[in-house]
Each structure stands twice: as C-alpha cells, then as structure tokens.
Amino acid sequence: MGKKRGLNVLFAASEALPFAKTGGLGDVAGGLPRALAEAGCSVAVLLPLYGCIDKNKLQKTGTTITVMISGRPYIGTLYKKEIFPGVTHWFLHQPELYFSRPNIYGDQNGDYPDNDARFIFFNRALAEFPTAAGFHPAVVHVNDWHLGLVPLYLKLLPEGHPLRGVPTVFSIHNLAYQGAFPRESYPLTGLPEKYFSAEGVESWGKIGFMKTGILFADAVTAVSPTYAKEILGKELGFGLEKTLNQRKKSLSGILNGIDADDWNPATDKHLPAAYSAKKMAGKAKCRDALLKKYGLQDVPGRAVIGIVSRMVEQKGFDLITAAEKDLMKLNIALVVLGTGQPKYEDGLRALAKKYPGRVGLTIGYDEALAHLIEAGSDMFLMPSHFEPCGLNQMFSLRYGTVPVVRATGGLADTVVNWQPEKKKGNGFLFKSATSQALLAVVKKAVKTFANKKEWDRIVQNGMAEDHSWRKSADKYLALYHTLV
Ligand code: ADP
Ligand code: GLC
C-alpha cells in the first residue's frame, strides 16, 4: 500500500497535554495530533480556554466566534499557539460561560452544574471555527461526550457552509461518562424540537451527548479493539449498546499510543537516574529513591508494586480492598498515587497506617511522582473492572515494570501472559473480577519475581515493544482516507 497523503484535520477535545489534563484523554489529545502531523497532516486542535491555561503564553488572534443561544449572542475569542510543527492549538475564550474557572469539569462540590451550557457552546462554536481561523479541514475528529453534538450539527449545516459534507470521526474514550443532561437545557442546543427523539439526541429521557456522537458520526472509534467489542454488550454498553449495535459497521477499535518522548526512561527528566533495556542499572537507583521517599524497607526478594490511578469504581480498588489482608501476607511493598472517591482514599490511608514501611501513599495528582513510581516499581497493578484502553500499562512496559492487570479492554490488547516454557509474554493477566483471582495473579507474579532470570526476560520482552503513536496514527489516517 502506498503512503497515505496527509490531510487537514480539525481535532477537538475537552483536554489535551501540555495544556490541560485530568486523565488519559489529555494524553491522547496531546499525542495523537502530533503523530498525525508527523505522518504529514496539518492539525488544528481546538480546546476551551480554561482558567488553568495561562493566556499570557498564547497568541491573541482577535478573531471571534459568535453563537446565538436562546436569541442572545455569545462571543468567544480565539487564542492560538504552535508548539509542534504541523499542529496549531486553538483556544476558545469565553469567560461569560465560565471556561475561565480553574478546573476543567468541576470542583470539590462535583461537576459544574452548567456543564451542559459550557459544552453546548463549545460544540456549536466548532462549526464556525474554520471560517474564523481560516483552517479548512478534510476531516473533523472529535472526542468523548464533550464534543458529541458536533456530528449532528455538521449534518444540519446549510448548503454552502464550509463544513458541510466534511466527514466526522467520533472517538469513545469512556462510555461510563455520557454527558447526559436534563431535557430543560434542550433549547440551548438550538436544535429543532424533532431531534429530541430516540432517532436523535434523546438518551433515556435526557440530552445525550455521547449517544448523539455515536449516532451521527461518519465513523465511530473506541480506544482499543477489545473495548470496541465489549461495548456492544449489555455489561459495558452502559445503556448505549443498542445505539452502538446500530452503528456496528462504522465502529472500529484503534489502540492508543503513548508519548514516547515524555515516557522514555533514558531521557526522563523526573528520574534520579536514566536507564534503558541495555543499561538497567539506573532502574535500581529509581527503585531505591522510591523506597527512600516513602521510608519503605527493602527486604530481599520483596516486590515493589506501583499504582497510579484515578480512585474510582472502574479501576478495581474494591478488589484491592477485599484482598488487602492476604496481599499483605506476600513479600510485597505497595506504592499508590491517586485521587478520587473518599471511600477509596480513606481505605488506602488506613492501609498505609496499618503497614508502615510497606505501603507508600500519596493522595493527589503529581506528574513527576507518576514517573518515579513507573520507574521505581517492579510491577504495576491495574485490576480494572473495565479499561477502554489504559495508558499506564504501556508506560510500565517501556519502563521495565511488569504489568499485572485484569484482562479487559486495552489491557487485554497490550498485556500478554508470561509463558515460561516459551519465554514469551510481558506481564500477568487475570480474568474474573474477584479478589481471589486478583490475589492469585499477584501471588504468581511475586513467585516469578523470585526467579531473576525469568523476571529479566519478562522485563526485556516488554521493553522491546513499541507502543508509540506511530502505528495508531497511521490507522486513524487510513480511516480518515476511507471517509474523504
Ligand atoms: P483514565 O483516563 O481512565 O484515568 P488512563 O490509563 O488512560 O486512565 O490514563 C490516566 C493518565 O493519568 C495516565 O497518564 C496516568 O499516569 C495519569 N494519572 C492518573 N492519576 C494520576 C495522579 N494521581 N497523578 C499523576 N498522574 C496521574
Ligand atoms: C479513558 C479511559 C482510559 C483510556 C483513556 C484515553 O479515560 O478510562 O482507559 O486510556 O480514556 O483514551
């Protein structure tokens, strides 16, 4: 197959590195546009200008976008910045609709109550972006519920509009968050009344952003092949399985990549020592630094297990809690970084108190520490109930930290069980979502850890893999070409 031509791509998300991130979506919206540019595309990334983004470091364009909402004009101003050749980041500034608040989605009181108004404005503004910015895309690629209304808006554009007929790709990152809002907000969408129906935006009686994206996009992607299949079933379809099955022919799974520059143990600026597959000595120094940071004892044969995660149901903290007594009977130390639901934070605080010298805990969000935990741990635990893709297992593989994961979504697509007889595999998987199964797999991993020769082989197998964005970006580009 010949090399695919680059295209003009308008890419929009609610978060993107290096400007705003709460989770994996921010990583993806940071890395994929860059990889698309490296593959020859010209990419405009559109983001809301949140208060956490420093306006003074951006270029004010003076260009505005006006959206009429309930008969009143709302004006957004565009800022921009080019940090990578081929990618221009555009920021929509609209303080009146509260993009200027410091956080992206909410605060200590929960989600902002007007997230519907905020993101309806953002979705509607996107349609006017090409004219305002003078950027004419061949494809519009939007992500997760926050941009879910865009495919429908584009379908309804009048003859002669620059985006009319431009195909849309809608990527699902997590079906557990659907952007479902009260019907009362429907007038804000400016959509004709008849679209509030089962064939339109209505989802279980509410305005469904995610549902609309799935229904009206020209192509729908999920962030891993396994997740693309799982969401067709009741358990992981979260009520949208019918809509997804309706679009089955246009649904595919493309695995995320990782930013191979940010996540490279040979150049990682957050680490006390560098290392690579050929020169592993630095990893032991990172491990020492991690143990020292938390005052953890180093006992011969002890396996350091790292976790960096949002502390929510999805990530399987209930399984860890249920298994903790038995887990702590093994020769392990646990290092956990994350924030989330108070019950999990409190549970882990109690565990750290009960096992001083064996459990290191940081409740919070800390980019540098996430890197140290990836580098300094022997294993990385992700017992997720579901995981659309997951990035930490891929960071772990690159850092020679053996992933121990539940076989679901992207975890099942990236982690291969260690088979000693064949010397193949890069980690350890368990299937059933029970504390017993979790305990059994950790036991197996800890036992294997005692065999240095075998362990080194698993580490090397993982480090030899390439999870950079290149292959995935090529798949998106091939998909774009089927649509244009
Ligand atoms: P999700 O998006 O569901 O949270 P992913 O595995 O796709 O899961 O991505 C999570 C991203 O957020 C990773 O880059 C991970 O390192 C990062 N992350 C999660 N929690 C924290 C934290 N407390 N501190 C620093 N980084 C974190
Ligand atoms: C979501 C998913 C995670 C995925 C990320 C990026 O937050 O929970 O599994 O890696 O999106 O696609």
pLDDT of residue 4: 62
DSSP secondary structure, 117-165, as one string? HHHHHHHHHHHHHHHHHT---SEEEEETGGGTTHHHHHHTPPTT-TTTT
Residues near 317 by Cβ (< 8 Å), separated by ≥ 6? 309, 311, 344, 347, 348
The tens digit of pLDDT for each residue in 69-93 reads: 999 999 999 999 999 999 999 999 9
Look up tokens 């998987």; give the residue. 429
Nearest to 61 by CA among 84, 41, 80: 80
pLDDT of residue 447: 98
Ligand 1 site residues (CB inside 6 A) read 23-24, 27, 308-310, 337-339, 365-367, 370, 389-392
Nearest to 116 by CA among 90, 97, 129: 97
Q: pLDDT grade, residue 100 (50/70/90)?
A: confident
312 Cβ below 6 A of ligand 2? no
Q: Specify the CATH class of 3-257+469-483 in words.
A: alpha beta
pLDDT of residue 307: 98
- How far apart CA 72 and CA 481 sit, in angstroms, is 39
CA of 281 to the centre of ligand 1 (A): 27
The tens digit of pLDDT for each residue in 28-75 reads: 999 999 999 999 999 999 999 999 999 999 999 999 999 999 999 999
Residues near 71 by Cβ (< 8 Å), separated by ≥ 6? none
Q: Provide the CB-side half-sphere exposure for 113 (13 A, CA).
A: 1
345 Cβ below 6 A of ligand 2? no
- How far apart CA 383 and CA 323 sit, in angstroms, is 11
Cβ pair 209, 119 in contact under 8 A? yes
CA of 308 to the centre of ligand 1 (A): 7
CA of 73 to the centre of ligand 2 (A): 35
Phi, psi values for residue 187, rounded to 5°: -55, -30
Q: Which atom of ligand 2 is nearest to the CA of 173?
A: 11
For residue 126, the tally of other CB atoms under 10 A from its CB is 23
Phi, psi values for residue 458, rounded to 5°: -60, -45
pLDDT of residue 3: 56
Q: Which atom of ligand 1 is nearest to the CA of 382?
A: 6
Parallel, antiparallel, or unpaired: how do β-strands 251-253 and 219-222 relate? parallel
Nearest to 9 by CA among 210, 211, 171: 171
Cβ pair 178, 213 in contact under 8 A? no
For residue 426, the tally of other CB atoms under 10 A from its CB is 23
How is the chain split into domains, by residue range? Answer: 3-257+469-483, 281-463
Cβ pair 228, 257 in contact under 8 A? no
Asked if the model's pLDDT at residue 296 lies above 60, the reply is yes
Q: Which atom of ligand 2 is nearest to the CA of 227?
A: 9
- How far apart CA 230 and CA 414 sit, in angstroms, is 16
Find the angle CA(227)-CA(230)-CA(234) to the nearest 5 degrees.
Answer: 140
Tell me which of 15, 25, 27 to substitute to probe ligand 1's pocket, judged by most ligand atoms within 8 Å of the beta carbon.
27
Q: Is 306 left (phi over 0), alpha (psi -120 to 50) or beta?
A: beta
**Count of residues for the chain?**
484
The tens digit of pLDDT for each residue in 280-293 reads: 999 999 999 999 99
Q: Return the ligand number nearest the Cα of 364.
A: 1
- How far apart CA 400 and CA 281 sit, in angstroms, is 12
Share of the chain above pLDDT 70, in %: 99
The tens digit of pLDDT for each residue in 322-343 reads: 999 999 999 999 999 999 999 9
CA of 185 to the centre of ligand 2 (A): 28
**What is the fold, at CATH topology level, of the domain defined by 281-463?**
Rossmann fold (3.40.50)
pLDDT of residue 5: 83
Q: Which atom of ligand 1 is nearest to the CA of 314?
A: 3
Q: Which atom of ligand 2 is nearest to the CA of 144?
A: 11
* Two domains, one topology: 3-257+469-483 and 281-463: yes
Identify the burial level of 111 via C-beta atoms within 10 angstroms of its C-beta, where 0-12 means exposed, 13-18 middle and 19 or more buried.
exposed
Cβ pair 142, 13 in contact under 8 A? yes
Residue 93 CA from chain centroid, whole number: 24
Parallel, antiparallel, or unpaired: how do β-strands 332-340 and 359-363 relate? parallel
CA of 127 to the centre of ligand 1 (A): 31
Residues near 193 by Cβ (< 8 Å), separated by ≥ 6? none
Tell me which of 365, 387, 393, 411 to substitute to probe ligand 1's pocket, judged by most ligand atoms within 8 Å of the beta carbon.
365
CA of 394 to the centre of ligand 2 (A): 12
Q: pLDDT grade, residue 151 (50/70/90)?
A: very high
28 Cβ below 6 A of ligand 2? yes
